Structure 1
């Protein structure tokens, strides 16, 4: 039985770059408002976003997307 490959974990910097270079401040504001993609907090306090979570988050915000 093949084991599933773990999801790619993106740093906040990588997420910011993928979102067109939004500011870190904007990202953390979105987190406060609970509209940012779900994050994982590592034991060292750093945040990561799973690639599949970011892709789903982006898909839900596409123009003309079904609710």
Structure 2
């Protein structure tokens, strides 16, 4: 049986839940580019602009973890 504290469970749930949502957002961006016939530069622009917010969240998480060490 798993002996997990509530804080550990919340941490894992947050990480997995946000990871799943980010994967789904990338799928939505891909589908949007595909349906609009964006072309190569359109794909790059959509992923760069819309994906930058998710990348910022990931970078913030990495930086805060590095500062805690």
Could you state the TM-score of these two structures normalised by the residue count of structure 2? Answer: 0.28
Q: Which has the larger radius of gyration?
A: 2
More strand by percentage: 1
The structure, 1 or 2, with the larger RCO (C-alpha pairs under 8 Å, 6+ apart) is 1
More helix by percentage: 2
